[in-house]
Amino acid sequence: MITKTMRGLAAAALTILPLLSAAPAQAAEPLSLADAVQQLPLAAESREGYQRTSFKHWVDADKDSCNTRMEVLIAESRVKPTIEGACKVTGGEWYSYYDGFTLTAPGGLDIDHMVPLAEAWDSGASSWTAARREAYANDLDADRSLVAVTARSNRSKSDQDPSTWLPPLADARCTYATDWVATKLRWGLSIDQAEAEALTELAEGCGQETVQYEPAT
């Protein structure tokens, strides 16, 4: 079972690698969130041909009986979770950092793709193979790719980018912007003009944030 670092109330300090291409090289020194935004390629977006089924998700990639949803619930529970049967999480404690709620029943949680599947399609994933889209949709190798949040906040977000949706908890917005940028850099995804402007504005108020990511293989 894949172990992820549990989220705290504050974002941990992060480092960044610059985007030189779809497979970025590593950087020797960290960059600020503002500089990280500048590393994202600017491009128009298109949703032509998008279907959610193009991204096979909640698979059991390591064949340990826990699918991706269960893996995230286990990793992000702040207490030892209750697991029934082969791998069904029935209890624990989760902090939804988008809106500041703590939940003990997993039924109230969605596992959010930090960059929604439709947004990923719009910004580069339309050209990927089915295998790479599956890897994206089940990315357990980067803590910020997937996050357990209240179903209400996730469905409010839907497939929007930061130009039209931000977490309702104001204190979460710098963390959210950092996680968004790190995910797009990790997967070599682009941003459109409105998204770039929104992220640039956010970064101006998030001077302590830096970004860390490893390019997805």
The confidence score (pLDDT) of residue 24 equals 42
Coil, helix or strand for 201?
A: helix
Contacts of residue 147, Cβ cutoff 8 Å, sequence gap at least 6? 7, 72, 76, 97, 111, 112, 114, 179
- Written as six digits, the tokens of 83 are 């697991």
Q: pLDDT tens for residues 76-125?
A: 999 999 999 999 999 999 999 999 999 999 999 999 999 999 999 999 99
Q: pLDDT tens for residues 175-211?
A: 999 999 999 999 999 999 999 999 999 999 998 999 9
Coil, helix or strand for 101?
A: strand
Q: pLDDT tens for residues 34-72?
A: 999 999 999 999 999 999 999 999 999 999 999 999 999
How many C-beta atoms surround the C-beta of residue 72 within 10 A?
Answer: 26
Distance from C-alpha of 154 to C-alpha of 103, rounded to nearest angstrom:
14
146 Rama sector, left if φ>0, alpha if ψ -120 to 50, beta otherwise: beta
The model's pTM: 0.87
The confidence score (pLDDT) of residue 29 equals 62
